[in-house]
Structure formats: C-alpha cells, structure tokens
Structure 1
C-alpha cells in the first residue's frame, strides 16, 4: 500500500497590518484549511487533528500573531520542536513602517502593542520581538507596495502550482530610486546597461515592449549577464530543492524599474523555467509609477 500523503502545515505570521487577513482569504480560495488567531500552544493539537483527518485536511494554515498569548516567547520554540517531523513552513508578512502607519491610520485603530505610545512605538516593539521569527521563516513577503488584490495574486503565484514545481521563483523588477525589495533573496543591478529613458523614442515605453527589449538585450554584456547569472543560480536552486526551501525571490533593479530591469527579468525567467523542478513568475513592482 502506498504511503499516505504527508499533511502540509503553514504558519502565517508577521507584522500587524501587513496583510494576514488577505493572505488567509487567498489560501482558503486555494483549498487550504485556515485557522485564524491560533495560540502557539495549539499548533501541535492542530497538527494531530490534521493527521487524523488524513486526506480531509491535507493543507492547513494557521494564522498566529500578537493577539495570541505567549506568542513571542513560545512560537519560535514550538516551530523548532515541530520541524523535521512534518512538512511545516513559516510565511512571514512584512511592510515598511510608513506603510504600516498609513494602514493603521486609515482604519483608525491602534497598534496592538502601542499602549499609551504612538503607532510607531507599537511597530518598533513588534518588529524587535519578531526579529528572530523573521530570520527563521521560510518565506518572507514584503507587502509595502501591494494592494489587497496584488497580495492575493502573490499568494496564488506562490502556492497554487507547488505540486508542479519543487521551487517557485518570483523574479521582481524594481527601481532603485523607490527602494530595494525587502523580501529579495538575491539582488541584481541592471544599471550597467545604457538607460532607454534617455532615448526619446523609447522613453514612454517599457521593457515589456519589443522595441525596448531589443535595445536592452542588444547592448554589450546584456545577454552575457543573463546567461552567466542563470548559470550561477542553477546550483543555488538545486540546493534550495535539497534543503526544502520551496520559494525564492530574485530582484533585478534599474533606476526607475520601467525599462532595463523589466526586460532582463523577462529574459531571466525564460532561462530559469527551463531548469527541472523550477516554476517561475515575474512581478514588475514599479512599472506603473511615474
């Protein structure tokens, strides 16, 4: 008799205001059984329940945050004790201080840790307490520049095609002038290439269009960079599969995130998706900015 498939357990945690509710809804739409506001002490009973349910609960996501008592002192210990014996991963949602303040102010609610202080005081206290948990997470998603629809799409890209790929790679094009993506595992700089912005007939176009793509890839060193970078990433992705790291974010930046990085991201995606066991998606973070 074939062995029963192993249950998957996903812990969703991170900064308050970073989008846990949106992620929970997206996971439910993908068929995950989601438990919200779970105390860390209940993780092991939840796993035992999932095992007894067998095929009825193959994928379980637990949202754990500062609302759960004992969160900061016990979650890391609980995750460490459970790992190794089951398919358990941690998804950490992060965002910049400015984005979090803006979100709390828009809903007119205090930060759960601010007490008599300000929203920023609460954010700082939470970020300090969550530092170890963030470092120990399997997946980190920075939601600073994502609306709820974009975040849902990101979660769908990460988790919907896992059966077909051992490692899911998200390639993010971005503009350095808007900041480096906080959730990037690898960062490449496309500013060694001439900027199409200074070509009048290309300025109003993007790296998604053939005229810009041909200009960027036709520059000396462009294709050589893509070939060598893809080759350098092959053993990295092989190691990720071996270590059961199932998601990676590769960021490629140029000045504004509109021309060079977009063209190179698309070209790199075409190289990486040829590797066995690798699924690739592309997100152009700053394409719509002025």
Structure 2
C-alpha cells in the first residue's frame, strides 16, 4: 500500500534512497531488487557514515549515481543518529527519499517464527514486545518517509514489482535479452533459457564462395534468410516467444538467454540470431547478440 509518494528525481540527478522500516517487512528483499537494477546498495549502514557516502555520488560518468542504503534498528545505539544525519543531508541540498517498509504485527510474528530468529529488540521478552518497541522507535521516521510500502499481503514477487515500480520507477524497464549463436558440435550454452536449432536450413559451408565468411557478412545473411522457411521461422518464433517474455517480466526474471545453434556456429546460427535480435528490438526489448563459436574453425 502506497501512503506517500514524492516525485522521483530527474534521471540526470544523483539519487539517494534511505531504506528503513520494520524488521521482517522485506527490507532485504527490497535491497536485493535495487541491486539487480544496478543501484549501489549498502546494508546495515551506521547513520553517521551516510553523509560521507552520499558525498561520493556523481550525477553522471564515473562514480556512484544511484545509492540505496539500508538503515534500521540493527544499528543499535548508532541508529539514534539517523534523524540528525537526515537533517544534515537536507541542509546540504542533497536529493534523497526515505522508503519505509511495514507489515501487520501478525504477519511480522509469523515471519520471525518461520525463520526461527529473535526480533532484534525483543531482549528477554516476546517477539511482539520487540515489534512494539520497534514501532515506537520508528514512529517519527515513518512520518518523515516519502514512500511507505505495506508488505502484509505481498508475495516476494509482488514486493519486487512494487519496488521496481514505486521506488525505482522502472516498472516499464524492458526485458534484457541475450541471443547467443553456437555450434552444436561444441556443446550447448550452459546458461540458455531457450535453445533454437536451425540445422534444418541448408548449410552455407558447402557454398565455396561463402565458406570463409560468417553470418555477420551480408552475403551469408542474405543467403540464409532467402532459404525456404528461414524468414517464416524467424517471424513465427519471435511471435511465439513474446508471451513467454511477458511472463518472465511478471515473474521478475528480467534477464533471458536464447541460444541459436547450427553445426559449427559460424553461418546459419549467426545470421538467424541477428535477424531475431532485430525483430525483438523492434518490439521494445533490450537485446544484445553474442557469437560464442566464431573463430573456432
């Protein structure tokens, strides 16, 4: 549940996120999602170190542009410095947002019981005692937060989607695809999510004037794509894989590898991988091509 939301800084500005909230509400998961989105993430940072770390940020070029720090009651007596540090950050006119993760007491108790760990503030008391004390300590910080995420009814995947959308503003970030051409005689790529076999196409290797070229050369590409069924295969495969890619995004799998293979990984697989990549880019995907076995013959 989003209770407050301040505008996201412009892309050219350095971004600082202070992630805090109730223990067991999903801070670690939120930090992991941001790290996957190329944020520089520091967990359990003493508040007094926040200002020097923020001073390392740069708007562009080398250095840290997007910094997320997890600051919470695990810091013990150091955590008391956070309010003063936030005031210092504001006084220096640094862009920052506070993200507070929360959940119901019932859910927090259940989560602690599932992992069989004590609440950091419960001492000799019950888990509920620790939760009550943490709510008291964090009350002022929750009021100052820009974004409050209630994770009571969220699965880990739903929480990740909320972080990508509300916190990082990257709900529409395109899927990042890698198309790898390879030769079956050298083995399958170990990281392939999908494997495409294009050995049904005639092999340019047997055409004397094409043998020394690769699928990157115009002559080979034109030859392969003009073969019966080649272009139809590219079009049909891209159409068939589109709902799969949409599903990967829903399931928080933003990186996908499609391996395209022929006998030696030099002609057909290279040309077809490049043709598929071009079609997928037209659909708004971020695509790179990698030709694993070029140069092995």
TM-score (norm 2): 0.51
Partner of 2:83: 76
Q: Deviations over 1:166-222 (max 9, x none)?
A: xxxxxxxxxxxxxxxxxxxxxxxxxxxxxxxxxxxxxxxxxxxxxxxxxxxxxxxxx
Structure 1: unaligned runs, 5 residues or longer: 165-290
Partner of 1:142: 150
Partner of 1:126: 134
Partner of 1:260: none
Q: Deviations over 1:97-137 (max 9, x none)?
A: 00100000000000000000000000000000100000001
Measured in 1, the distance between the counterparts of 2:68 and 2:24 equals 18
Equivalent position SS for 1:34: strand
**Among candidates 25, 38, 46, match of residue 53 of structure 2:** 46
2:103 matched to 1:95? yes
Measured in 2, the distance between the counterparts of 1:69 and 1:31 equals 29
Map 1:147-162; keep pairs closer than 5 Å: 147-161=155-169
Equivalent position SS for 2:23: coil
Deviation at 1:53, TM superposition (A): 8.4
Equivalent residues of 2:20, 2:71 under 8 A apart: yes
Equivalent residues of 1:39, 1:64 under 8 A apart: yes
Equivalent residues of 1:39, 1:70 under 8 A apart: no
Measured in 2, the distance between the counterparts of 1:50 and 1:72 equals 23
Deviation at 1:69, TM superposition (A): 3.5
Partner of 1:61: 68
Structure 2: unaligned runs, 5 residues or longer: 1-10, 173-297
Measured in 2, the distance between the counterparts of 1:137 and 1:87 equals 14
Map 1:1-290; keep pairs closer than 5 Å: 5-51=12-58, 55-83=62-90, 85-161=93-169
Distance 1:102 1:92, change over 3 A: same
Equivalent position SS for 2:84: helix
Partner of 1:235: none
Equivalent residues of 1:12, 1:64 under 8 A apart: yes
Bigger Cα Rg: 2
Distance 1:54 1:47, change over 3 A: farther
Q: How many equivalent pairs are there? A: 161
Distance 1:160 1:126, change over 3 A: closer
Measured in 1, the distance between the counterparts of 2:75 and 2:148 equals 21
Equivalent position SS for 2:32: helix
Partner of 2:281: none
TM-score (norm 1): 0.52
Measured in 2, the distance between the counterparts of 1:138 and 1:132 equals 13
Equivalent position SS for 1:35: strand
Partner of 2:220: none
Equivalent residues of 1:39, 1:69 under 8 A apart: no
Equivalent residues of 1:20, 1:93 under 8 A apart: yes
